Amino acid sequence: MSTVDPARVQRLNDADPVAEGRYVLYWMQQSQRAVHNPALDHAIGRANEKKAPLLVVFGLMDDYPEANRRHYTFMLEGLRETQERLAERGIKLVARRGAPDDVALSFAEDAQMIVSDRGYLRHQRRWRKRVAAEAPCPVVQVEGDVVVPVEEVTDKPEYAARTIRPKIHEHLDRFLALSTEGTIEVPSVDLDVDDGLALDAVDAVVDRLDLGDNVPPVRGLYRGGTSEAEAVLQAFLNDHLDGYDDHRNQIHSHAVSHMSKYLHFGQVSPVWLALQIQESAAPDEDIDAYLEELIVRRELAVNHVYYRPDTYDAYECLPEWARETLAEHADDEREYVYSRRALEQSETHDPYWNAAMTEMRETGYMHNYMRMYWGKKILEWSPDPQTAFERALTLNNRYFLDGRDPNSYANVLWLFGLHDRGWKERPVYGKVRYMSKGGLERKADPEAYVEKVDRLAAKARSSTPS
């Protein structure tokens, strides 16, 4: 019996069940993990009910929006482990080159039914819609990469964390629970299906892809995969959760969890992660502060993309007050104006900002507080706010391992006023929140941050093949 909460499960079409199908198919796309995965748990339950094997398939496309070598390498490291862990449980995972929807449909003919996980970005929704429309069997979607299912929280885009917070908290008792991991009754490891890509050779798979952009991987610093995420989290639980609330702005330290990249690729479950935090011995204020980021802030971003499907990545979806005030100040004189190239190469007058850009470019990560400072200065140093927005989003998605995520769109738009309120009016920013170098120096230790980035960037470069 599957114990997946019914609110996580949605039927996407009304096709009749196909009793003669060879297998139940789990089309894996967003939740790229073998544990704590409600779509997988649901699929195991259905396969056992039908006394059928469960086949898992994954479509690896060359031109995933804005993805480059850095992203693919991290993702495939994780997928390789997922394939191994599933095989240990008697379940075969086949990764095949092609668009995710095409690959799912190429296996649909022989499926009794298809289970997919859920993604909120435009292309992820389009793929599921097409599979549901064209598959000759029932297609079911299971929501496993948020704590509270997006439509359970609210039916509209929320204004801010303060408006979504109570709506999320109301449901936490119910949804902070893991589904039971079932045991598959009919193994699929020997199923007569082409094995697909050899994931044990990650570099060889990436080499064969036709990638437009070759941002290098950051293996010496961050590796993909559920086990790696578990180890990184354990270190955070041991050394840094206690004090998280106070230390969040300590940009020079390592007092953050580094979970965003694993969450982005679905290599860890947010429910599992929240439970690990909740069950720790850390003080309540640290647990609460962490869960506020992981659940309220992260799921506010999901709410943003889900309820603004056409505009979530566009300047036009900023609140009216923000667009108006930025337009009024668009022609204000700027003390510094940099080209996109100068920004990308860390060539500004500000050593702290240059370090932040270097951390992003060379390591694929940046501390949250520096992300805010980094983005606010792009607004200040670009010729106009629209150009600033495009630059910030492009750089964010090109370099961050956690880029191209609902969090990317919501947070880059936050720089320009989304989910925020008006502040004291000033040049260039208008009423949009401002951040200063002086404030950074008062609240954090940016000199020590610059030194930290020098060390990290050297380590990242030394592990990058030339």
Instruction: Name the amino acid, one letter, at 38.
Output: P
Return the residue of 301, 356, 379, 413 that touches ligand FAD, per CB under 6 A.
301
Q: With contact defined as beta carbons under 8 Å apart, do 127 and 27 qualify?
A: no
Give the x-and-dash track for 354-373 against ligand FAD (CB under 6 A).
--------------x--xx-
Q: How far is it, in rounded angstroms, from Cα 77 to Cα 303? A: 29
Strand 111-117 and strand 139-142: the pairing is parallel
Chosen residue from 364, 405, 444, 460 binding ligand FAD by CB under 6 A: 405
User: Interface residues for ligand FAD in 313-342 (CB under 6 A)?
Assistant: none
- Are 403 and 397 contacting, i.e. CB atoms less than 8 angstroms apart? yes
Per-position DSSP letters for 268-292, written without gaps between them: S-HHHHHHHHHTSSS-HHHHHHHHI
Site string for ligand FAD, 146-175 (x = CB under 6 A): ------------------------------
Helices (H), 50-92: 69-88
- Beta-ladder partners of 140: 11, 115
Among 226, 269, 325, 411, binds ligand FAD (CB under 6 A): 411
Based on CB atoms, which residue is closest to ligand FAD, 83 or 396? 396
Instruction: List for the chain the helix, strand, coil content (%; round to 5).
Output: 50, 10, 45
Task: Establish if 83 lies at the interface with ligand FAD (CB under 6 A).
Answer: no
Cβ of residue 226: shortest distance to ligand FAD, in angstroms? 15
Q: Which of 54, 325, 396, 453 binds ligand FAD (CB under 6 A)?
A: 396
Distance of closest approach, residue 90 Cβ to ligand FAD, in angstroms: 32
Give the containing element (helix H, strand E) for 149: none
- How many CA within 13 A on the CB side of residue 255? 18
CA–CA separation, 74 and 265 (whole Å): 9
| Smallest gap from residue 72 Cβ to ligand FAD (A) | 17
Cα(304)–Cα(315) distance, rounded to whole angstroms? 13
Among 105, 294, 413, 444, binds ligand FAD (CB under 6 A): 294
Site string for ligand FAD, 236-275 (x = CB under 6 A): --------------------xxxxx--xx-----------
Query: How many residues in the shown chain lie near ligand FAD by CB under 6 A?
Result: 26
Site for ligand FAD contains 398 (CB under 6 A): no
Q: How far apart are CA 445 and CA 251, in angstroms?
A: 7
Nearer to ligand FAD, 338 or 389 (CB): 389
**Is 407 an interacting residue with respect to ligand FAD (CB under 6 A)?**
yes
- In the shown chain, the binding pattern of residues 182 to 211 toward ligand FAD, with x for contact by CB under 6 A and - for none, equals ------------------------------
Residue 46 or 264: the one with the smaller Cβ distance to ligand FAD is 264
Of 116 and 411, which CB lies nearer to ligand FAD in the complex structure?
Answer: 411
Contact 276, 237 (CB under 8 A): yes
List 60's β-bridge partners, or say none: 97
Q: How far is the CA of 77 from the CAs of 36, 86, 227, 256, 409, in angstroms?
A: 18, 15, 11, 22, 25
Residue numbers at the binding site for ligand FAD (CB under 6 A) = 256-260, 263-264, 293-294, 297-298, 301, 368, 371-372, 375, 396, 400, 402-403, 405, 407-408, 411-412, 415
